[in-house]
Structure 1
C-alpha cells in the first residue's frame, strides 16, 4: 500500500506544507499545489454548509453542539484524498492508493508529529510555511517504515 503525498492547508486556505513520498500520480507544479489547496479549502467550506442540520445525540450537553465536518474523503479509481481538520482549522490532506487501510490512524499520527515537532518549535510562526527538519525526518521515518 502506498501513501503518495501530504498537504497541510492553513485555516485561510493557504498551502503551508507539501511532501511527496512516492511517485505514481502526475507531478504538480508549485502553482498547481497552491490552486489545489485553495480549491479544496473552498469546497470543504461549502460541504460543511450543505450538511443537514445536526441532531443532538442523547446524553450530550447542550454546550457542545454537533457540527458538520465537511468533505472528508474524495475517492477516484487512482487515488483517495483524506482530509483531517483540526479544531483550529488546519487541514491535513493525505493522498493514498484507494485500497490503503487504516488511513485515519495514519493521518492522526501525522497530526501528532505536527503537534510535537512543528507546534512546539519556538521558531515556527503559526499559519506560515512549515520548514522543520525534525518534522520532515519523523514524517519520512513514519511513512516509509509502515508495512
Structure 2
C-alpha cells in the first residue's frame, strides 16, 4: 500500500498545493499539474450534476488500473485529492487528517491569502509527519 501524492485544489479549480511522496508517479511539469487539477475540477463538477438520485457531492473515488484518486470536498469548495495504490484502504481517514492540518496550519495563518498557493513550512512538516515516505 502506498500514498503517491496529495493535491489541494481551490474552489476555482486552481492547484494550490501539490506534493509527491512515493515513487511511482510520472514526473510532470508544474503546468501539467495545473492542467490536471483543472480537468479534475471539471470532472468533479460534472459528476455532481449527473446524479440520478438528486444532489450529489460529485466523484469521491476515481480508479485507474494501477492507482486510485480519493477526493474530499469541503463545504468551502476546496478539494483534497489523495493519489494512492489500489490497495490503500485508509485514504478517507488520511484526507480527514490532512483537512484538519490544513484548517490549523493554513487557514489560521494570518499571512495566508485564501485561494492562493499554500506556502507554509508548518503545513509541509505536519503533512510529512502524517504521510512520511508514502508507505503505509
TM-score band by shorter chain is: over 0.9
Once the two structures are superposed, the pairs formed by residues 63-142 of structure 1 within 5 Å of their partners are 67-142=55-130
CA RMSD of aligned residues (A): 1.2
Secondary structure in 2 aligned to 1:119? coil
**Once the two structures are superposed, what CA deviation does each residue of 1:46-78 show, in whole Å capped at 9, x if it has no partner?**
111100143xxxxxxxxxxxx301011111121
**Once the two structures are superposed, what CA deviation does each residue of 1:99-135 show, in whole Å capped at 9, x if it has no partner?**
0121110110001000010001010000000000000
Counterpart CA distance in 2 for 1:88 and 1:136 is 22
Counterpart CA distance in 2 for 1:48 and 1:94 is 19
Gaps of 5+ in 2: none
**Once the two structures are superposed, what CA deviation does each residue of 1:7-62 show, in whole Å capped at 9, x if it has no partner?**
000000000000111111211111110000000000100111100143xxxxxxxx
Gaps of 5+ in 1: 55-66
Which structure exhibits the higher relative contact order, with contacts defined as CA atoms closer than 8 Å and separated by 6 or more residues? 2
Q: Deviating runs (4+, > 3 A) in structure 1?
A: none
Aligned length: 135
**Residue 20 (structure 1) aligns with:** 20
Q: What is the TM-score when the length of structure 2 is the normalising length?
A: 0.95
Counterpart CA distance in 2 for 1:50 and 1:95 is 24
